[in-house]
Amino acid sequence: MKSQSSCPQCGAPVEFLFSNAVQTTCPYCSSILVRTDLDLKRVGEMSDIAADASPIQLRTEGIYRNKAFQVVGRIAYVYEGGNWNEWHLGFQDGTSGWLSDAQLDYAISFAAKDHPRIPPASNVGRGWRMKIRDAELTLTTITKARYGGVEGELPFEYWDKTEMVFADLRPASRGFGTIDYSEDPPLFFLGEAVEFDELKLRNLREFEGW
């Protein structure tokens, strides 16, 4: 359900598309705003996100496993091999998910609350294993990334990061798990790779020549 407030920095109207969003950005003055019980608090200013070739943008709509969603937020990351986006998805049933967009490789994931205790990043390496929901996952990749910026609505506060570590785990299928060490305790996500056409995306970003 949509809701509306006013930006404490410039007074412009700020609309929330996702009812459970905690953070958003003002489209007029680029302030990063955190929602409290009563009002909005300015915590920073949105930095310019490096241009990329992703066709996805805020308000892109799609379908995953017969559930409609809308792209309501974005976290951008930069790493040694390039950059990628984590698009925050607001589903019609009120749930929250993520669409990873890494140079034409796409994946959908959701926060997992029932995972076992995760050791510090310094204590894990390639080949480390964890078991969750009767599946065994093996750590295959550790990525060091830099925070590249945020826009739109997020389900948690996320705006003042520097360098962070992500650990990717794989089972035997096309599914995956990701440990996000930017938070303490770490966040854990479960998901699967998807094809672009599977998502039936609409309201995509248009490029000259399309």
pLDDT tens profile 136-173 = 899 999 999 998 889 999 998 887 777 889 999 998 67
**In this predicted structure, what is the pLDDT of residue 125?**
93
pLDDT less than 50: residues of the chain: none
Residues in Cβ contact with 20 at an 8 Å cutoff, skipping those fewer than 6 apart? 90, 94, 96, 155
pLDDT at 191: 92
State the Cα–Cα distance between residues 203 and 57, nearest whole angstrom: 8
Report pTM: 0.89
pLDDT at 175: 86
- Half-sphere exposure for 127 (CA within 13 Å, toward CB): 0
Does residue 71 contact residue 89 with C-beta atoms inside 8 Å? yes
pLDDT of residue 209: 52
CATH of 3-45, one of 3.30.1380, 2.20.28, 2.60.120, 3.40.50: 2.20.28
- DSSP per-residue codes, 126-153: TT-EEEETTEEEEEEEEEEEEEEEEEE-
